[in-house]
Every structure is written in C-alpha cells, then in structure tokens.
C-alpha cells in the first residue's frame, strides 16, 4: 500500500503496527497533537484516546488483526491539551510490502461539530417536548412541520392533524387581514414579531395567547422557516372579563341608586296626591281608578327597590335565608323585562322549607341568572321555530332526604347535547356574539359550590332545559 497517496487526504490517517504503535501519519492527523510536533511516530495511538474509548479500541483492534477483517466504530480522542474530538474510525489490516509485516491502516473522520449540533438539537427537542408553552415550527409557506405536545393540548388537534396544515385552520377571524400582513412582512424581513392573538380550538372554543414568531436562519444566513411560541393568556382574559363584568354591575348599582332617588321622590309625591284625592272625592269610579294608580305606584317602587337591592355589592355574610322568598324576589326582578310578557311563570313552592344559612344576594344572583337564561332561550325558540307556542317557566322547591331542591324548567330552545358538558365553563355561551359573556353560569356554579350545594342541568334541544339546585340541610342554623 502506498501511504503517500493519503498524506494530503482531508481526514486523519495512521499506519499502526500490531501493538498499536504509530508508524506513519498524515498532515490531518497532526490536529490531535497540537503541542507535540516531534516524536509522534513510535508513540502509542491509545495514548490520545479518552478512558471510555480505550476498551472499545483495543477489542476492535485485536479482533481486526486476529480475523484479518476491517472494522468501523466511534471513539473519543482527547489529546494532551484536553480538547475532545468525536471521531468515526475505519481500520483495515494489510501487509507492508517493504518488510512483509502486517500493519493496520486507520482512517478517521472528525464529526465533533456534527455531534455537538446533534446534542444541542436533542436538548432543544427535550425542552420543546416538555415545556408548558405551545410551540410550532413552520416552513416558509407557513405550513406546520413541528408542534409540541403543549400545542396539541392547547389547540385540541393531534400532531397528525396539524403537520402540513396552515395555522389558519384554527383562525378565529377576529383579526384583520392587515394585522396578519404586518406579521408576515415583519418575519419575512428576518425580524421577530410579537402580538396577542385569539384562535379557535378544534371544538370551537376560543383560546387567547401572546404569540412570538421568530425567523429561523441557517448557517448561510438563509431564511428557512419560522418558530412560534405561545404564552397562554386565558386566565388573564378571564380576569379582564370578570373585571369588566364587575365594573358593569357596579355601574348598574350606581345607576339604580340614582334612579331610586330621582324616581322615588316624585313617586312618593304622586302617591300622596292620590291618597288626598281619594279622601276628598265621593265618586266611586274615581276612587276605583285611583286605587289602580296607587297599586301601579307601589309596583314601580318595589321594582326600583329590588333593583337597588340586587345591584348592591355583596357583604359576603351568611344569613338565615328563606329560599322561597329569595326565589319570589328573583322572579319579580326578571318579570320586569319586556321579553317576559308572553311567558307564564308557574311557581310551586314547599312552604315548609326551613331557612338555611346562605349569602342571600349571591344565591339570588344565581336564581336571576338561570331565569334570564330561560327567558332568552324561550325568545330564541320563538324567533327561530315556534312563534305561537305557549311559553312557560316552572319554578319549584321541595325537601327530601335532608336536601332542599330548587328546580327551574322552561320550554325554550334547549342546549345541544355536545354543549351540555361545557355550560358551566367560563366564556362558554350558546348565545349570539355580543349577547352573552359566558360568565353567568360559571359564576353561578362557583356560588352554589361555595354554598356546599350542587347544580345540574338537563336539556333536550328544541324542547327545553331544566336546572336543578340542591342545598344540604346540614347547613341549617
């Protein structure tokens, strides 16, 4: 074999004798001896190997000599300056034509940089797979080529459904074309884009995230794709909506107090004048009509008083509460609405119910929420399907097995079966956009649970809905 042909070879090459002594080496092999340019020939090749590579090398070397066969394996070279090289080597025995002895040709390929990149990739992959933040990688056309498990959980899709797809499959259409054009213009120019987005899960629910999209640049400075990381803003948005809802309720309370003052005083004057006229006249017809006026004044006064009481901030104090009275007040509040004029309210209350310690205004809020939902469901059914159907809302209370049961039944539009498990989730609503916050039943669920009760729903689409609330009697004072 002519070793001269390998002197200019780009990879390290050695000729070793049967004891592993270096007989020859080329220029590329000198990289393993940075501080030793002389006396390399005659030294042991094994001296530049790391401890964990010695046994692999010796076994493969001996076996190659013994069986006169070639071998290929990986070793770690650690020269005297402690620089570590990952090397793939190929050894092959041959007969030296000059002296007739058997030697071994060792040819190596340094793949240290490749292994470093592989190690970095594995570290990134491990982090990406286990992070709680949804991650996605797309090609230059925006089609997804990687999503992590957190992204699957957040979107509701599995990886097989997402790979190759454009992220617009879960677009909510809440953002303008200009919004996305700005994003594409930014990332296509090699810059990072950051913005808040609202997407839709596979099941149709909204999920809010802060999205950072970064260009992926290769070694040649060429743009090869995009990396997106999402930060979940669901809790933040939920708190924002709760705050807005609370502020609205505070505004209603302020407005109600103002109405009570501005309307209450004139009503009191009108009521006094009616009573004076009643006393001064002997005309039975006038007295009859004035009595009707007086009743309507009383009704208006009660409505204003109920509105003020309902809007007043809760004191969160447990009080002995008559559920029947609480229900009657809730019904009167809801009946004021114009949608209820064609709805029959049917009450069947067990007057033997004992009082229970509850936060009365919060429980009344639950009753009002359920009744308003029933009214809206009836209105929707009339609008879509049966405008002439007799509408009703049945409210009943009863006591059985140490439990007070409150039942609300309506013959409204009902809830689709696939939505029944979601009705108590925050922001879930079957109403049209802008018609509901999706917080009413979620808040109601929390109030009932905090009262150690339970709330259930049964529904049949296009037929009606029944809400059942149970309060345990062991709460009795």
Domain ranges of the chain: 3-111, 131-232, 234-313, 315-477
- 94, 1 in Cβ contact below 8 A? yes
pLDDT score recorded for residue 43: 87
- 380, 346 in Cβ contact below 8 A? no
Report, as an integer, the average pLDDT of 467-471.
Answer: 95
- Superfamily holding 131-232: PAS domain (3.30.450.20)
Q: pLDDT tens, 242-280?
A: 666 666 656 666 666 676 767 777 888 888 888 888 888
Burial class (CB in 10 A: 0-12, 13-18, 19+), 469: buried
pLDDT score recorded for residue 375: 93
For residue 306, name the pLDDT band (cuts at 50, 70, 90). Answer: low
pLDDT score recorded for residue 37: 61
Does the pLDDT value for residue 318 go beyond 60?
yes
Between 224 and 306, the higher pLDDT residue: 224
| Fold adopted by 315-477 | Heat Shock Protein 90 (3.30.565)
Using CA atoms in the order 208, 212, 213, 215, what is the torsion angle rounded to 10 degrees? -170
pLDDT score recorded for residue 392: 95
pLDDT score recorded for residue 263: 77
Average pLDDT, the chain: 85
For residue 477, name the pLDDT band (cuts at 50, 70, 90). Answer: very low
For residue 150, name the pLDDT band (cuts at 50, 70, 90). Answer: very high
pLDDT score recorded for residue 476: 44
pLDDT score recorded for residue 35: 64
For residue 311, name the pLDDT band (cuts at 50, 70, 90). Answer: low
pLDDT score recorded for residue 378: 93
* Same fold across 234-313 and 315-477: no
Q: pLDDT tens, 201-234?
A: 888 888 889 999 999 998 888 999 999 999 988 7
Report, as an integer, the average pLDDT of 451-469.
Answer: 92
Percentage above 90 pLDDT, the chain: 34
Does the pLDDT value for residue 434 go beyond 90?
no
What would the CATH number be for the domain defined by 234-313?
A: 1.10.287
For residue 137, name the pLDDT band (cuts at 50, 70, 90). Answer: very high
Give the chain's count of helices (H) and strands (E): 10, 17
Does the pLDDT value for residue 295 go beyond 90?
no
Spatial separation of the C-alpha atoms in residues 184 and 142, rounded to whole Å: 9
For residue 174, name the pLDDT band (cuts at 50, 70, 90). Answer: confident
- Three-class HEC string of 405-470: EEEEEECCCCCCHHHHHHCCCCCCCCCCCCCCCCCHHHHHHHHHHHCCCEEEEEEECCCEEEEEEE
Spatial separation of the C-alpha atoms in residues 446 and 465, rounded to whole Å: 20
Report, as an integer, the average pLDDT of 88-96.
Answer: 91
> Which of 359, 344, 274 has its CA nearest to residue 312?
359
What single-letter DSSP state applies at residue 49?
A: B
What single-letter DSSP state applies at residue 82?
A: -
> Which of 362, 349, 263 has its CA nearest to residue 312?
362
Spatial separation of the C-alpha atoms in residues 439 and 459, rounded to whole Å: 19
> Which of 309, 317, 359 has its CA nearest to residue 333?
309
CATH architecture of 3-111: 2-Layer Sandwich (3.30)
Report, as an integer, the average pLDDT of 104-132.
Answer: 87
What is the residue whose two structure tokens read 């009191």? 268
Does the pLDDT value for residue 442 go beyond 90?
no
For residue 80, name the pLDDT band (cuts at 50, 70, 90). Answer: low
Report, as an integer, the average pLDDT of 331-338.
Answer: 84
pLDDT score recorded for residue 135: 94
> Which of 111, 85, 102, 79 has its CA nearest to residue 15?
102
Q: State residue 392 phi and psi, 5-degree precision.
A: -145, 155
Distances (CA, A) of 104 to 1, 24, 379: 11, 11, 92
Burial class (CB in 10 A: 0-12, 13-18, 19+), 185: exposed
Between 149 and 302, the higher pLDDT residue: 149
For residue 161, name the pLDDT band (cuts at 50, 70, 90). Answer: very high
């Amino acid at each position: 074999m002519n070793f001269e042909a390998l002197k200019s070879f780009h990879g390290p090459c050695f000729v070793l004798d049967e004891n592993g002594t270096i007989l020859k080496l080329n220029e590329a092999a000198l990289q393993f001896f940075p501080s030793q340019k002389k006396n390399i020939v005659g030294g042991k090749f094994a001296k530049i190997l790391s401890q964990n590579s010695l046994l692999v090398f010796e076994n493969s070397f001996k076996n190659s000599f013994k069986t006169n066969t070639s071998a290929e394996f990986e070793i770690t070279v650690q020269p005297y300056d402690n620089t570590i090289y990952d090397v793939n080597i190929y050894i092959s025995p041959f007969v030296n034509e000059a002296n007739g002895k058997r030697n071994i040709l060792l040819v190596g390929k340094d793949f240290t940089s490749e292994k470093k990149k592989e190690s970095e990739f594995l570290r990134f992959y491990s982090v990406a797979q286990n992070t709680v933040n949804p991650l996605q990688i797309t090609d230059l056309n925006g089609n997804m080529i990687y999503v992590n498990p957190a992204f699957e959980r957040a979107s509701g899709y599995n990886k097989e459904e997402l790979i190759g797809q454009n992220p617009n499959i879960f677009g909510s259409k809440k953002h303008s074309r200009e919004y996305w054009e700005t994003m594409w213009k930014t990332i296509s120019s090699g810059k990072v884009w950051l913005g808040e987005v609202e997407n839709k899960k596979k099941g149709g629910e909204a999920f809010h995230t802060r999205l950072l999209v970064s260009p992926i640049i290769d070694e040649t400075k060429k743009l090869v794709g995009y990396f997106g990381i999402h930060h979940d803003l669901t809790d933040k948005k939920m708190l924002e909506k709760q705050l807005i809802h609370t502020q609205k309720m505070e505004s209603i309370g302020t407005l109600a107090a103002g109405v009570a003052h501005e309307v209450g005083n004139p009503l009191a004057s009108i009521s006094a004048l009616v009573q004076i006229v009643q006393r001064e006249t002997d005309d039975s017809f006038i007295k009859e009509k004035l009595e009707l006026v007086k009743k309507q004044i009383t009704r208006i006064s009660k409505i204003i008083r109920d509105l003020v009481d309902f809007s007043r901030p809760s004191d969160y104090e447990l009080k002995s509460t008559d559920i029947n009275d609480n229900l009657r007040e809730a019904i009167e509040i809801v009946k004021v609405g114009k949608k209820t004029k064609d709805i029959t309210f049917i009450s069947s209350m067990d007057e033997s119910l004992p009082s229970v310690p509850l936060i009365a205004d919060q429980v009344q809020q639950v009753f009002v929420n359920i009744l308003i939902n029933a009214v809206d469901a009836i209105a929707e059914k009339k609008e879509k399907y049966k405008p002439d159907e007799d509408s009703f809302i049945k409210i009943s209370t009863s006591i059985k097995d140490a439990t007070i049961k409150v039942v609300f039944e309506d013959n409204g539009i009902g809830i689709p079966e696939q939505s029944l498990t979601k009705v108590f989730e925050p922001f879930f609503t079957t109403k049209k956009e802008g018609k509901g916050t999706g917080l009413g039943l979620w808040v109601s669920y929390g109030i009932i649970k905090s009262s150690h009760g339970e709330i259930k729903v049964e529904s049949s689409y296009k037929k009606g809905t029944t809400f059942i609330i149970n309060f345990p009697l062991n709460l009795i004072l």
